[in-house]
Amino acid sequence: MKQLFFILVLILTSFDSYSQEILSQHTIDTISFAKTNRPYISKIKYSLNKDKSLKGWTKYYTFKSYVHLFKLENDSALSNAHKAIKAYESLEQGHPGADGIAHKAYYIKGLREYFATRPLTALQTLYRGLELTSQYPESPDKKSWRFYILERISYIHIDLGDIDLALRARKEAFRDSIWANYRFEVINNRLDIGYLYKHKKKYDSAKAHFNEALRMYKDTILLDNDNYDKDVFFINQVRALDALGDIALYQNQKDSAYNNFSKANKIFLDKELINSDLLSSKSKLSPLTSYGYMLFYQDNLNESETVLNKVRDSLRKKYNYTRDERNLYIRVCDFLNKVYFKQGAHEKSTSILSELNEYLITYHEKSIAKQLQLYASEFELKEKDASISKLEKITTQQKTIIKQRNIINWVIIGLFLSFLILGVVLFRQNKLKSKYKTTILEQRLLRSQLNPHFLFNSLGTIISLTSNESKNVIPYTLKLSNLLRSILENSREEFVSLEEEIQTVKDYLELQSNFSQKFNHVVEIDPELNVQNILVPPMFIQPFVENAIEHGIAAITNGKIILKFIMDDNKKLIKSSIIDNGIGYTKGQEIKDKNSGYESLSGSILKDRFKIYSRSFKVNARFEVLEDTDNIGSRVDVYLPYILE
């Protein structure tokens, strides 16, 4: 009986071995990732184990990673993608089957690293995958995967605050002609490019992309069998119209803003998007905010105030301090401020501006903390990966010792010295990178501290005007609101165009000369300066202008301020001169110190910022004070680093 059983097992085993065929190299190379081909995964593995001459481990692990990704088995997807990349990099020379598939493994690995809050590592992985799509373009689906890689690269750059790099990735994806066959992807990409242009305040380019996206939506018939969520189809139209409405407000085109908000609100109500599961509770507040502006436009101020405060209260229940929440909060407070102006509720207007300022300060602090935590996590993970790699190599060395004991000591010494040198080099590189990132964060923090300083001075002017029952309260506060928006937007950027910085200072001079004290002002710009392409650090000139007004010409009549912008002699710095005919810098500082008893907060911040930029750009960023011999008038020369766009 036992003999019969063993014979039966032997027959079945032999039958199973012969029944599973070994796939050819051509078959392995040409199997697609279609769902119907998933049974081939086990056949590929069987064939590779049976015939060592076959090449296909990159294909096998990538296919497995792809399947796990769609099953939302994220750890398995990442693990198999890593194995696929390791198999690909171990190939001594290229192979068509691996070259045509490896970019997918890099994409999946980069995607999972991004969601594991390792954006810098994810970028490195995704750029390697993008490089492969260019090296081996003969693969039929390379263009589509290239789009997905560029899309993810764009999202990561946005999270890291690199808007220019994000826009470059989006525009590169858009140029792939294959996407003419994927209508919804073309539309969505246009929308994303529009949002990025809007963030950069290039409104004409943004409007062109939003309008083209809306035109394509209008020409699209959404069929029941389309593999596209119908809510997304309409939600994106609402967002595009809201964005066009915001741009119209920035350009003071109130009728256009009202029309776009009206269209967005109609789609939102007609399609019952309030019930959509794709919108978070806070995302549903954006159309409601637009509706509040529509009521304001119709002079229904009380109802507008009620709607906007409802949105504001919903936001204040629990702050998440996300980018979308910040943008919505700015919109709500801006609209409420307009309502309070029209109602003559000056105290409420001042209160809402103060509330917004406190929120933005907290937002910037949390953003900086998040970035620091992110870099720390990246560093810890790299340390862990390095330790694992080192342990694997040590294990290999120990196995070698057993076989070649007489020569292994010299090998260990050589490896140890190599690792020591490599460790020193890597440590220095990481230290330099960390120093650079810390410098960037310090600059952002210092700029954010200037905003409340400027606001507090402006609020003092409002209080003074209100106490004197001046009719200039409303015009002053309205212009101040526009100026504050510009300053807040510029302070979030590392660099702004010289044109924008000059315009902000001009607006400030107009505000002060018209409402605070009468004085003349002139702005002279060297014709050779291309102010649109020259980028400078923001918020450097305005504090010196403010000082000239408050402590230079405040005590005289017929005051005058002259601003000059030229390139310095060695072409490495932009020179800005602030000239006044006041009581002189030294005397003004003596009065200022006598009244305050301590160093100005903005002065301390500016000194710190000059030190940081001098260290970062290896130039002598500084300011110099020149006084008339009779102590009548003063001149401050500010030297700023710059880059070309």
| Residue 436: pLDDT band with limits 50, 70, 90 | very low
Amino acid identity, residue 478?
A: L
Kindly report which listed range (196-200, 487-491, 543-547) carries the lowest average pLDDT score: 487-491
Question: In Å, how far are 72, 184, 204 from 229, measured between CA atoms?
Answer: 19, 11, 30
Q: Give the residue with greater pLDDT, 469 vs 567.
A: 567
Residue 596 sits in which domain range?
493-645
522-542 average pLDDT score: 91
DSSP letter at 567 equals: E
C-alpha span between 107 and 370 (Å, rounded): 25
Please indicate, yes or no, if residue 570 is contained in any of the structural domains: yes
Residue 145 reports pLDDT greater than 60: yes
387-401 average pLDDT score: 53
The tokens of 153 are what?
A: 């690269």
326 phi/psi in degrees, rounded to 5: -60, -45
Q: Are residues 478 and 546 in the same domain?
A: no
Residue 501 reports pLDDT greater than 50: yes
Q: Are residues 512 and 477 in the same domain?
A: no
pLDDT attached to residue 574: 94
Q: Are residues 506 and 619 in the same domain?
A: yes
Question: In Å, how far are 168, 189, 373 from 243, measured between CA atoms?
Answer: 21, 15, 32
Kindly report which listed range (130-144, 243-257, 379-393, 446-460) carries the lowest average pLDDT score: 379-393
297-310 average pLDDT score: 90
pLDDT tens-digit series, residues 231-251 = 788 888 988 999 999 899 889
C-alpha span between 441 and 494 (Å, rounded): 10
Last residue within a domain, chosen from 487, 506, 533: 487
Please indicate, yes or no, if residue 133 is contained in any of the structural domains: no
The tokens of 78 are what?
A: 């990442």
Residue 611 reports pLDDT greater than 80: yes
The number of domains in the chain is 2
Kindly report which listed range (80-89, 412-421, 505-514, 546-555) carries the lowest average pLDDT score: 412-421
- Give the orientation angle of helix 183-199 with respect to helix 142-159, to 10 degrees: 30
Please indicate, yes or no, if residue 464 is contained in any of the structural domains: yes
* Structure-token match 């002060």, residue found: 512
Query: CB within 8 A of 384, min separation 6: which ones?
Result: none
Residue 43 reports pLDDT greater than 80: yes
Last residue within a domain, chosen from 439, 468, 487: 487
Residue 601 reports pLDDT greater than 70: no
pLDDT attached to residue 14: 45
Amino acid identity, residue 161?
A: G
Residue 551 reports pLDDT greater than 60: yes
C-alpha span between 213 and 240 (Å, rounded): 8
| Residue 598: pLDDT band with limits 50, 70, 90 | very low
Query: CB within 8 A of 524, min separation 6: which ones?
Result: 562, 563, 564, 565
pLDDT attached to residue 427: 64
Q: Are residues 477 and 574 in the same domain?
A: no
Last residue within a domain, chosen from 426, 459, 487: 487
pLDDT attached to residue 569: 78
The tokens of 284 are what?
A: 């549903």
CATH number at residue 637: 3.30.565.10
DSSP letter at 535 equals: E
Q: Are residues 417 and 480 in the same domain?
A: yes
Query: CB within 8 A of 90, min separation 6: which ones?
Result: none
pLDDT attached to residue 523: 94
CA nearest neighbour of 192 among 488, 143, 179: 179
Strand partners, 639: 575, 622
Residue 17 reports pLDDT greater than 50: no
Residue 537 reports pLDDT greater than 80: yes
Would you say 260 and 245 are in contact if contact means Cβ atoms under 8 Å apart? yes
| Residue 109: pLDDT band with limits 50, 70, 90 | very high
pLDDT attached to residue 284: 73
Residue 560 reports pLDDT greater than 80: yes
pLDDT attached to residue 432: 47
Query: CB within 8 A of 324, min separation 6: which ones?
Result: 282, 283
Average pLDDT, the chain: 78
Please indicate, yes or no, if residue 4 is contained in any of the structural domains: no
In this prediction the pTM is 0.53
* Structure-token match 């595009």, residue found: 240
Would you say 519 and 561 are in contact if contact means Cβ atoms under 8 Å apart? yes
